[in-house]
Amino acid sequence: MATTCLLIMSSHPFSTPEARWTAVRTRDSNAVGSFIYAVRTTGVYCRPDCKARLARRANVVFYENIPQAEEAGFRACKRCKPNAPPDHDREPVLAKIREAVDLVREGASRGDKVTLKELSSRVGLSKWHLQRVFTKINRMSPRAMANSIINTMEVEAAETSARIEAARDRRESSSHSSMASDKSYPDETEVHHLGLPNNLQALPMQYDDPDVDSVLRDLFPELY
């Protein structure tokens, strides 16, 4: 586990002090959100892309986030305002994140998972910055969002298929029951097969033996 975490950290473009100092010197906007740097001589902490005069490397210390810098006793820079909520300066980034969300949803609706590299190229943000801001805003990564949408679609498809199958089984069962019910009574063909007239009440029954005929007449007068 520790080895895995180390590998992940080492692959991050701003995981080392050297990379972070380079980002500060070049005021790299892609590093925003990756870390915070503070200046010992002024007592303030800044965003990596702060436009203030560059401090000496010996006076700069890096922190993972704002709470760490504030816990160490530093206050927010009034120029770059690292603790301020997103404003019009960050709106372009938010617009790109919304575009990324649309791309993820569009791909997932077709059963596809758009890669982070492809998203980065399409919206114009670095992979790490896109991943970080996307996850912060949506509370899940692009891949997790795609997986969630696809899984939901698969569950809904399975439920719909099950309902259709159940309805088909009910129709077949009802059809079989109806056919069985119809066979409970002999039809006209079966009556002829038995050698009986169609209308039993219309034809009188007579026997050669008068005694038998008399008894039947008393028992079944409706047949005479």
* Sequence-ordered list of residues with C-beta below 8 angstroms from that of 126, at least 6 positions apart, any chain: 13, 30, 120
80 is catalytic: no
Q: How far apart are CA 155 and CA 161, in angstroms?
A: 10
- Buried b vs exposed e over 170-198: b needs ≥16 C-beta within 10 Å? eeeeeeeeeeeeeeeeeeeeeeeeeeeee
Show Cβ contacts of residue 41 under 8 Å, excluding neighbours closer than 6 positions: 55, 59
Kindly write down the DSSP assignment for every residue of 155-192, as one continuous string.
HHHHHHHHHHHHHHHHHHHHHHHHHHHHTTS--HHHHH
Of the residues 5, 46, 50, 77, which is catalytic?
A: 46
Q: Which two tokens stand for residue 127?
A: 């992979």
92's CB contacts (< 8 A; 6+ apart) are none
* Token couple for 42: 């002024």
Structure tokens at 2: 């520790």
By annotation, the residues acting in catalysis are 46
